[in-house]
Structure 1
């Protein structure tokens, strides 16, 4: 079959366009099919004083929480204690931490001032999230971040039930949590002397009528801070499934992953 020059040019041009379209489609399909890059793990440090009762927490607070948090996808956990070199808060540790979970009750005054300043500096710069548990409301870093005494109105340690309701169910910290009761714990009561929180996630009540905002969040400069009230070391509160889940959710929120 004879083809004139003009027809030949038109046919070869169309073939080229079709080939380019086919190659472009194949390239697009390859891009769409490519697996997403793995998310960098969230680096969490669980810090405590090392003073918890062995009868309740055989591996102390850091051991109890690290074991649980380490099972969550995308989370790498290390443990640190006040008795470690640099009080467990040396610059290398802090620089390799995205979220610091803090449990303290008896030895607040033993935390060195320079370590407090190092923590606060990183939190306000957005380099470090801070999750304070139970009596850590009286810790030096938390008080420095809040700028207030952070004292509850009163407290007692008589092992009575604590009823925890969900004030803001759509907040990431409350995800997967329904109202629940801790069979034995201590009590903190309002007024809780902290700045107005960004969000009140949890509220606790006791049968004698006390109430306490027990899950609070703040954004301080560029950093996220969480306070969770439950966690007295005389009772196995931190092994309760709902408390563990709340702490895990708080870690993700403080680390900008939720």
Structure 2
């Protein structure tokens, strides 16, 4: 095909800025540092659901993402797994706790809450972590407890109430075949966004995906994740947790 050089050059001049912008954006995306995620866990779980621990299941899911860099800490580690150096190297702290909230040193819980308020770190609280010290400090020390609960392994039906929110990206309504139940009233401050709501066969319901802006930081609560059932292997649960991590780190 013959091309008139006189007409080709002006077109090249017009297209060049768009090509440069695309190349620059691609290079920027490739060089963007990964989100530094620290998974914190009590370290006591049901071996029937998570033989290697809840934190191992969470790490397995998050480590599959090339944009996430994962480390882990446990209550039994020095400084309860929450050394200042580890927290300072964390963009988002994923917290899983259930029965040992009181064993977390007050000073370490305050260190977490302070960093979140200052915008140095986000917090993603899972399951019964709504009762943890850092979460309650960030929720103005409200009880942060559900109205009732039961552990009978019945299906949980999760509705997406804010499909436009980044935490819901790629998530459609889904069912967890075996889970436990939390119900309203859930004693937390009014959330910024209700992303998910869970329902059960007996008519119970709870707001199960919530977000807050606290000071300069972001806090997410995702209800699902009991250690008695392998919920953390569910694809939609894994996606919502990964989305929450990225949102909590203020990454697009």
Normalised to the residue count of structure 2, the TM-score between the two structures is: 0.89
Tell me, yes or no, if structure 1 residue 36 matches structure 2 residue 27. yes
Q: Specify every segment of 5 or more residues in structure 1 that has no aligned partner in the other structure, as ranges.
A: 1-23
Q: Select which of 242, 248, 252 maps to 1:254.
A: 248
Deviations 1:199-223 (A, max 9, x none): 0000000000100000000000100
Q: Select which of 168, 186, 189 maps to 2:183.
A: 189
Deviations 1:159-188 (A, max 9, x none): 111100000001000010111111111110
* Structure 1 moving runs of 4+ over 2 Å: 27-37
RMSD across aligned positions (CA): 1.8
Q: Select which of 68, 73, 88 maps to 2:66.
A: 73
Distance in 2 (CA, whole Å) between partners of 1:121 and 1:49 is 21
TM-aligned CA deviation for residue 73 of structure 1:
2.3
TM-aligned CA deviation for residue 93 of structure 1:
0.4
TM-aligned CA deviation for residue 59 of structure 1:
1.4
Query: Is the partner of 1:36 in helix, strand or coil?
Result: helix
Q: Select which of 181, 199, 209 maps to 1:205.
A: 199
Instruction: Please show how residues 55-66 of structure 1 align to structure 2 within 5 Å.
Output: 55-66=48-59
Q: Specify every segment of 5 or more residues in structure 2 that has no aligned partner in the other structure, as ranges.
A: 1-12
Tell me, yes or no, if structure 1 residue 109 matches structure 2 residue 121. no
Query: Is the partner of 1:194 in helix, strand or coil?
Result: coil
TM-aligned CA deviation for residue 58 of structure 1:
1.4
Deviations 1:88-131 (A, max 9, x none): 00000000000000000010000001101100110000001000
Choose 1 or 2 for highest CA Rg.
1
1:137 maps to what in 2? 130
Deviations 1:5-53 (A, max 9, x none): xxxxxxxxxxxxxxxxxxx99x979965556231011100011000011
Distance in 1 (CA, whole Å) between partners of 2:81 and 2:151 is 29
Q: Select which of 149, 164, 167 maps to 1:173.
A: 167
Query: Is the partner of 2:158 in helix, strand or coil?
Result: strand
Tell me, yes or no, if structure 1 residue 93 matches structure 2 residue 86. yes
Give the 3 Å change call, closer, same or farther, for CA 184–118 of structure 1 in structure 2.
same
Normalised to the residue count of structure 1, the TM-score between the two structures is: 0.87
2:218 maps to what in 1? 224
